[in-house]
Structures are given as structure tokens and as C-alpha cells.
Chains A and B, each alone.
Chain A
């Protein structure tokens, strides 16, 4: 589930500099007597786990780390086999609840532990689970420091991806047609009138946002193929480093990459309310099996719904666990916000 944000052949993490500084400051404050528990919150694939791994490496002798990859049902699982160190890192804390009656018991126990313990807790959460828990149980009150991981900039994405290759290993070619370089293009959209059995072409203007930005910033002459490609990847991935990596891998025809290779991944999502709800649960839990989905939704048609979601290219199944397809993340988040299933 985690993605690596670490440079190849080095331990240096790319991005999240401010967040690392905030965590280091909280650790220093804790050592001088002030306990301010931390929640690191992000979208799936944004690199939460890599961030806490980097923190663990920086302060290895002080930290006890637990990482969860599926829903925790038993309060005993919260117990540490041996006495934990003073700083406790819990990765993927959203696995402490299940959106069902009686599904908050483990989370409540965990929050009691956070409130009563002398240890400093550094926790990571899926942002959609966090938003839900914030409204339902005011979880923000337990974590005075909340770090919402920001989107990566184009240069950070470029650095992250290129750090895995040797210099001059890749060939960046500019194959953008002259018409695509225009900020606004005229297209014809065919519309079929069924009763008349006729197709008419309706002209419409298509705005090329990338080109428009370039046009407005008046930097066109300086743009290289490399920059255009990483700007496109950043836009399609919405600044999510994990999604950017997937898009890069799908676009690269080693060792060559051109702007036309970068796929747009526009999903035409049509779901009913129950399907949207199950998709939202998968998004907010990041990894969930069929039985847990049945328990949450009480739906007898879970299999049909999962099939429909897979068919539309929105989810994947990995060893019985359903997960969001990285490249569909941006489209499905926009869709779910519109439906009102996600708040």
C-alpha cells in the first residue's frame, strides 16, 4: 500500500519537509515535558507510511512502531508485546474502526489509551476516514497536532521519479502537435438525434489548461518536453506522489517518454447510491475484504456492486482485499463529493 518517497541510493526523503520539521519539533517538546499527540492525515498513495518510516529512522532508538493493514477487531491487538518506548508510532490508525453498529469499540479504547498514556503518539490516518471520524466522534480533540500532507509540486514529482534513473538514461521527446499547443481549440461533437436518425456535429471550444497556463505565464519558449511531461503528470495525479508514479510507469515506453504517452485517465463514473457508498468505504478504509463490506452495508448485492466497480476500472482486488485503483483516485473523489456520500 505504501509508496516510497526516498531517493534511490540515499535515505533522503523527497517532499514533506515542513511536516518532518513539525514532527521533530513535537518530539523535542515531548522530551522537554509537553505531550502533543500527532495525526498525519493524507489521501491514499500520498506516502504516509514512508514519512513515518523516515521519522522512525531518524529517531530509531526512541520509537516503537506498529503498522496495520487490515481492520482491527480485538482490543488486545492494541497491546504491545513488550513495554513500548516513549514515542509510539501507529501507522494506518483508520483500521481501528468499522462503519457499523459496535464498530467503534476498538477506536474508543485506542483514544482512551492516547488520552491516558504518558507516551507520545504519532498516528497516520486516511483523510476520508479522518473527516468522517471528525464529524462523528470529534477525533481532532485527541490530536492537537494535525498534519494534512500537502500535494506534491511538479518539481517534487519530477525529483521523485527521476531519482530512480541515471542521468541521461531517459529520452524526453516533444511530440505535441501544433494544434495542441494552442490554449483554445475548436472541436466538433457528434450528436445523434434518434427519432430523425441523423447525426449533427455541434462545434465547441476545448480549453487546454496546461497550454493556457503556459500561455498566460509567457514562459512558452523555455518549456522543454521534460517539463511539459511532468506538468501533465502532476495535473493528472492531482499532486499525489503514489498516483504520479503509477501514471509514469504506465506512460513510459522505456527509455522513451513523450507528452502524448501520458494518459489522461478520465473515468466516466455512473453509480447508484449503494455503489457510491461501497466505493466510498473502500476509499476511506484503503483495504477491505468482502465480508467486512457486507457487515457495513448489509447489502446482499455486494458481489454485484464490486463487479460493477471493477468493470468501471475503479477498484482492484488484491488477495481478497479491495483497493482503489491509483489512477482512478482523482475522478472518483470528485464524483463521490458530488453525490454527497462523502462529507
Chain B
């Protein structure tokens, strides 16, 4: 029996891949890595100096990363290993098999990363909730998105989660972000005065941002044993979300105690309340 073998395909790894090409490839990847680090560093530093366009500048970072790594891969395959078109087909087959056997998650992460960049469900600098994690997006990489949680933990969320999880972005690419502040008061306290105090605490806060597009509001809601006053207002920089909340709450309660507005009382079932 005569077996026809395409020698062109069989010779791919032996003829073209040697120590020199491996070294060159590593060098190119290393250069691409260094370049992305330098560009990331410069752009992040620059973004802090441009005020309201901070997030727009930061959004260029993942785009450049993908472009640099893409060019590096193209250069390695096209010029260092110098794959011919038939070799490229063989390589694609190999890649397909690798994806099928074990690298499918990595591939899904890369595709997820591309979708994040072009569809922009969130951007670098956004405050997002992905799955059970909430935090500021510090980086969108080839494989994962990095979040900094309010407790300063760095969480790496695989990019493929974009296909399976709902993503909530609190600011959707804008540096401003709405913050909701809830305070609970005794139903016998003066609600009108309490709303006025909370409103003034919000509008005089050093962190607040008010404009025609970003208005503030103070709402009252009645519950059986307490009343809730809710303020909704924007911070100019979402990084001050918790400082804003804390500052408004602290100043409001200080004023409440001066004006005799109290927190809800604990309602213990007693003979008196039962009767």
C-alpha cells in the first residue's frame, strides 16, 4: 500500500522552528510585553491629568494591548517562523485542536476581551459588579479584567464571564457616578426637617457634583416602624463614592442630633405594646 504524505506539512516544526526562532519569538513577546507596560504606565499617568476625560484615555490601554500583541503574533508567524500558507493551515489545525482540548477557556477569554473593548459593557475606571464582585476596573487584559474592590483586594475576573454573567456598570464610562445614601429615622421625628437637613448635607458636600444633567433628589418612604430618607446625588469622581457617603451621613446625623431627630427605636414586643 502506498501512503501519500505531504512532506511540506510534516516538515513544519522541524525545518522552521529552531533555537534561533524560539529565542527571537521570546524576544518579540518580551518586547511586546515591555511596550504594553510602558504605554499603560504613560497613559494611566496622563489620564490623571486630563480630569473629565480620564476614563476615555484609559480606555485606549486595552485596545493598544490587543493591537501590540496581535502585531507581535503576526510578526512571529509571518517573519520569524516564516510560515507558508499551507503551514499556516496546519498551524490553524493545531491551534483548533489545542482550543478543543484544553485552551478553549483561554480562547473564550481573548474573544471576551475583544468584545469588552468594542462593545464596551464597561471600561477601565468604571465601577462594576461582575458576578459577586464589585469594584473599580483597573485593567482589561487579554485574559482577564482586574477589579479593585472597596477593601482594596485585586480580583481577576476571566473575560469569558461577559458571556455568562450580567454586568452592572454604575457609571458606564462617565467619571461621575450616582451614589444612593439611605438614612433611617424614628417615625415620630420631623420628616420635613430631616429631608431639608439631608438635602443641605448633600449639596454642601465637597464631593458632590450637580448639573442640569446630574441632578440630586431626596425622597421619603414610610415603613411600619421607621422612615427612610434617601438621597441620590452624583460624585464627580467615582473614586470618592464611599467618602461622599460617609461624609454626608456623618454631617447629617450630627445635625439630626442637634435638632432632636432620632434613629428608629427597637420595637420589642411587650405587654404594653401587645395591649
Contacts and interface: CB of A to CB of B under 8 A. Distances in A.
B67 interface: no
B50 to A, nearest CB: 8
B206 A340 contact: no
B51 interface: yes
A133 to B, nearest CB: 10
Interface stretch (A46-54, A98-106, A176-184): A98-106
Nearest to A103: B204
A339 B210 CA distance: 15
Given A101-B251, A273-B240, A298-B251, A340 B209 contact: yes
Given A135-B211, A339-B51, A343-B211, A99 B204 contact: yes
Nearest to B255: A101
A58 to B, nearest CB: 36
Interface in A130-153: 135-136
Interface stretch (B107-115, B132-140, B153-161, B195-203): B195-203
A274 interface: yes
B210 A343 contact: yes
Contacts of A101: 197, 200-201, 204, 251-252, 255
A273 B197 CA distance: 24
A110 interface: no
Interface of A: 99-104, 135-136, 273-274, 277, 296-298, 337-341, 343
Contact of B203 (A136, A298, A337): A136
A273 B206 contact: yes
Contact of A277 (B200, B203, B206, B251): B206
A136 B210 contact: yes
B49 interface: yes
Contacts of B201: 101
A202 to B, nearest CB: 14
Contacts of A338: 49-51
B210 A340 contact: no
A339 B203 CA distance: 18
Given A100-B204, A136-B210, A297-B206, A340 B197 contact: no
Given A99-B204, A340-B237, A341-B206, 14 more contacts: A102-B200, A102-B255, A103-B204, A135-B211, A274-B206, A297-B206, A337-B51, A338-B50, A338-B51, A339-B51, A340-B52, A340-B175, A340-B236, A343-B236
Contacts of B255: 101-102
A198 B86 CA distance: 51
A339 B51 CA distance: 6
Nearest to B250: A298
Contacts of A273: 206-207, 240
Contacts of A340: 51-52, 175, 209, 236-237
16 contacts: A100-B204, A101-B201, A101-B204, A103-B200, A103-B204, A135-B211, A135-B212, A273-B206, A273-B240, A277-B206, A298-B251, A339-B51, A340-B237, A341-B236, A343-B209, A343-B211
